[in-house]
Amino acid sequence: MDYKEKDFIQLLNQNQKIIHKVCNLYMNWQEDKEDLFQEITLQAWKAYSQFRGEAKFSTWLYRVALNTAITFFRKDKKNAFIDTVSEMPELTVPMDRDPIEDKTKAMYEAIAALSKIDKAIVMLYLEDYSYAEISEIIGITANNIAVKMNRIKVKLREATLKNFERI
Amino acid sequence: MELDDLKGLINQKLMEGSPNITENNFTDLLKGKASSVISKIKKSLWFEIACCALVVPLFIGIALFSSHSSLKIYFGLFGAIFIPFTLIFFYLLKKINEFDQSVLPIKENLQQLIKMLEDFTRRYFQFNMALLPICFLVALFLGYNEKEPIAVLDNIFDKLKVNKSIYIGFIVGYSIAIVFGLVYLTKWYIRKLYGKYIDQLKLLLTELKED
């Protein structure tokens, strides 16, 4: 293993949470998550020679991971929302329900049902990136991001309420 | 129930069930094979280039050493047409490799990927279609004007005992059917391989362009 590869693996190891989060958000099935994890790792390695350190490694990795996840398609039936729900780990204990956990689950389901682009925006928002930073990663203006984020929040509020009532 | 109120919990939930990957696991992952569309196109381009590399010297050899002028022209043309296409395939491969190593903003990445896929499918179609006129029209013309008899072909026609007009009618009908069949089949095949994927990417791009 050469110095560059060792350096890269070390950075990837320190930032693996990013890849896990992207895989969990974009894929529903374990096998697909593993495939996407591998694809992101390989894609990051291919592009690593172009990484100049102008941005933080984590920001650069987000860009690679989101680009890969957005252009990574699996058979439609596997991505159906119903699978997202059935695949999600059960948080609640029927006899002793925690409303916060139920709300989190309802919100998580709502996020899982968003489009690929909206998921990317939400993911970066959850990581506390500013609208200006999100706009650099997505490639549209910060104003546009703000408008989209407001719409997403409304969409999530409504979907979460519905999901919460169902849970 | 606002997103901001549940930020921390959602972040935790996004990590649920994720195994810890060690540095050794990452080393193994780097040895794995990519399954992206780009890697499939690269494989396809290498296959086309390998075919061209095999066919060009073979056809040029036939063109140089055959004693029949029709075979010389026919295979010479084939060989000549494969050369620029080999260069085009190398150019596409270079572009794809450059794209594969770049980390662009999501919108630009989608635009470039769509352009690259459309370029590839267009060239692939052109490559297949470019061979058709040579296959049929040039072959017909050259075969008709061939002065020296080709023993193998003459034996076949003697055995079948067909007269000239039926033979020409059959060849013309067969050529038209094959040309239309191939155009349709090639379009269908390309669409089956990449059409749906390109449509999905275009939808994502449209969503990004919306205000």
DSSP structure string for A53-88: SSS-HHHHHHHHHHHHHHT----GGGG-HHHHHHHS
**How far A47 CA sits from the closest chain B CA (Å)?**
4
Q: Is residue B204 part of a domain?
A: yes
For a pLDDT cut of 90, what percent of chain B falls above it? 32
Task: Return the pLDDT at B180.
Answer: 86
**Is the pLDDT assigned to residue B50 strictly greater than 60?**
yes
Number of domains observed in the structure of chain B: 1
Residues near B10 by beta carbon (within 8 Å), at least 6 away in sequence: A104, A107, A108, A111, A126, B3
pLDDT of residue B172: 82
Q: What integer pLDDT is reported at residue B96 of this predicted model?
A: 92
Q: Output the pLDDT for position A135.
A: 96
Q: Which of A70-84, A116-130, B78-92, B175-189 has the highest mean pLDDT?
A: A116-130
Domains of chain A listed by start with CATH number: 1-87 (1.10.1740.10), 89-167 (1.10.10.10)
Chain A residues within an 8 Å CB radius of B109: 67, 70-71, 139
Does some domain include residue B190? yes
Q: Name the residue among B103, B201, B211 with its Cβ closest to that of A147.
A: B211
B2 in a structural domain:
no
User: Sorting pLDDT into bands at 50, 70 and 90, what band is A82?
Assistant: very low
More confident residue, A144 or B154: A144
Give residue A1's pLDDT. 67
Q: Which pLDDT score, from 0 to 100, does residue A85 have?
A: 44
Provide the chain A residues 68-107 that lie in CB contact (below 8 A) with chain B: 68, 70-73, 89, 100, 103-107
For residue B28, being part of any structural domain is answered with: no
One-letter amino acid of A83: D
B29 in a structural domain? no
Q: Do A63 and B14 touch (CB under 8 A)?
A: no
Greatest mean pLDDT range, A49-63, A128-142, B55-69, B152-166: A128-142
- The confidence score (pLDDT) of residue A94 equals 55
Look at residue B111 and tell me if it is in a domain. yes
Tell me if B88 is assigned to some domain.
yes
Q: What is the mean pLDDT of chain A?
A: 86
Over residues A97-120, the pLDDT tens digits come to 777 888 899 999 999 999 999 999
B-chain residues near A137 (CB < 8 A): 105-106
Q: Measured between CA atoms, how close is A28 to chain B, in angstroms?
A: 12
Q: What pLDDT, in 10s, does the model give residues B101-132?
A: 889 999 999 999 999 999 989 988 988 887 77
pLDDT at A96: 67
B25 part of a folded domain: no
| Confidence at B62, pLDDT banded by 50, 70, 90 | very high
B70 or A118: which carries more pLDDT confidence?
A118
Statement: residue A80 has pLDDT above 70? no
Least confidently predicted of B56-65, B79-88, B99-108, B132-141: B132-141
How confident is residue A75, by pLDDT bands cut at 50, 70 and 90?
A: low
Q: How far apart are CA A116 and CA A101, in angstroms?
A: 25
Q: Measured between alpha carbons, how far is A12 from A53 in angstroms, rounded to an integer?
A: 14
Q: Which domain holds residue B180?
A: 36-209
**pLDDT at A86 > cutoff 60:** no
What is the reported pLDDT for B1? 66
Q: What is the mean pLDDT of residues A41-57?
A: 90
Cβ contact, residue pair B14, A126, below 8 Å: yes
Q: Give pLDDT, residue A95.
A: 58
State the complex-level ipTM. Answer: 0.85
Q: Which residues contact B192 (CB under 8 A, 6 or more apart)?
A: none
Residue B149 CB coordination number (10 Å): 9
Q: What is the pLDDT, as a whole number, of residue A100? A: 83
Residue B202 vs residue B162, higher pLDDT? B202
Residues in A closer than 8 angstroms to B1, CB to CB, are: 103, 106-107, 157, 160-161, 164
Of B10, B32, B204, the CB nearest to A70: B204
In this structure, of A23-32, A97-106, A130-139, B186-195, the range with the lowest mean pLDDT score is A97-106
Q: A98 or A81: whose pLDDT is higher?
A: A98
Concatenated DSSP letters of B1-32: --TGGGHHHHHHHHHTTPPPPPHHHHHHHHTS
A156 vs chain B: nearest CA distance in angstroms? 7
Choice among A27-31, A36-40, B149-153 with the minimum mean pLDDT: B149-153
